[in-house]
Chain A
């Protein structure tokens, strides 16, 4: 099955700086790549996603880039704020013909230092 690797596992940045989290995947047929934010004691919440026919997507301070050739995608958070502190997960969804399976990375704990 698909294998998703996520780096780094922990990340500390100063408030106002940028944060970048990277993921790689193994199945070239994967076509949907979401990013989730999980705050303490809560379920993951979708913050941005990208499909395989798009190279970049942006939503205010958050952006995701996808390199299908290299099979990696990245989350970029600019002008970080303390409320961005959370655990972030990437995921990949293989081709629709295999059902509705999702494979997640192991998570990145982001701390934004005021």
Chain B
């Protein structure tokens, strides 16, 4: 089944403790993105990648890191999480090359205390 998977789905952590949220897609898509969703703010793009080893900042990149070492994986890293990063996070992928439809993962709910 073609899909985007994220792990973990739920995470409660403490301020300053490094964490990684994994994202994987099995559709051989070129493009991948990370978003955060907050009430009243919609979805905001954190980082995107258009190819292996090619990443760029979205609208709200502060406090986050990403890497794209393999085409299928695009992990989101919070090196020193803070309470204002408590949010619902979504990974998405799209074929690229003028095909922009995005397929979203199921989401990761992160709470930073």
Contact = CB atoms under 8 A, between A and B. Distances in A.
A45 B40 contact: no
Contact of B33 (A41, A49, A89, A100): A100
A44 interface: yes
Given A1-B59, A43-B106, A100-B50, A34 B42 contact: no
A89 B4 CA distance: 19
A104 B42 contact: yes
Interface SS majority for chain B: strand
Given A41-B107, A43-B4, A100-B94, 12 more contacts: A42-B107, A43-B107, A46-B102, A46-B103, A49-B100, A49-B101, A89-B43, A99-B48, A99-B50, A99-B56, A102-B33, A103-B59
Interface residues of B, number: 28
Contact of A44 (B44, B58, B59, B90): B90
A36 B101 CA distance: 10
